[in-house]
Amino acid sequence: MRETLEAIHQLRADGVISAYAIGGAVGATFYVEPMATMDIGVFVSFQGAPDDLLIDLSPLYGWAEAHGFETRGEYIVLGGWPVQFLPPSDALDQEALARAVETEVEGVKARVMTAEHLVAIALRVGRAKDCARILQFIEAAALDAAVLEDILARHGLARKWAEFGRRFLEGQP
């Protein structure tokens, strides 16, 4: 992971990306027990990219090629990890990126989405593995309920959260 993070920091230093935050299953491992995953999802903002236009990823892939990194479809292999760079798709992603917290991994600083943002994004996506991840966060008591409820309300996910609760949490102690 160290080499992966160092490469991401180099992307920032070289001006290819301006901010990043680790999300998805790898982001969740900073709060709960690891789940199997094959890649790292890294949400990024690009230097000077307008919010309302398609994002040109060619500078990212050009940087990877110039630095000898392998690409596999939408992934760039950094330090042995396939990394998918994801521009924020909506206000929730943008907020999660902006409010990411800094931690340290193998002596290298890393920005990781908050537990509450990871849960909100998982709820929005709603795949079976996302529901399982949400349950992990709940069982680990890794969430600030007030913060999560605020995020869900502001991003129109309160009804979906109530449905999740009925489906997975009713009858739970």
pLDDT at 172: 59
Over pLDDT 70: what percentage of the chain? 94
Question: Would 173 be classed as within a structural domain?
Answer: no
Over pLDDT 90: what percentage of the chain? 83
Question: Would 156 be classed as within a structural domain?
Answer: yes
Same domain as 128, residue 62: no
| Domain of 125, in residue numbers | 117-168
Question: Would 127 be classed as within a structural domain?
Answer: yes
Yes or no: say if 94 and 117 are a contact pair by the CB < 8 Å rule.
no
Q: Which of 89, 113, 137 is the last residue of a domain?
A: 113
Same domain as 130, residue 106: no
Q: What is the pLDDT of residues 103-149, one digit of tens each?
A: 999 999 999 999 999 999 999 999 999 999 999 999 999 999 999 99
46/165: higher pLDDT: 165
Question: Would 64 be classed as within a structural domain?
Answer: yes
Task: Report, in angstroms and rounded to the nearest whole number, the Rg of the chain calculated over CA atoms.
Answer: 17
Question: Would 106 be classed as within a structural domain?
Answer: yes
**Whole-Å CA distances, 14 to 8, 47, 112:** 10, 10, 21
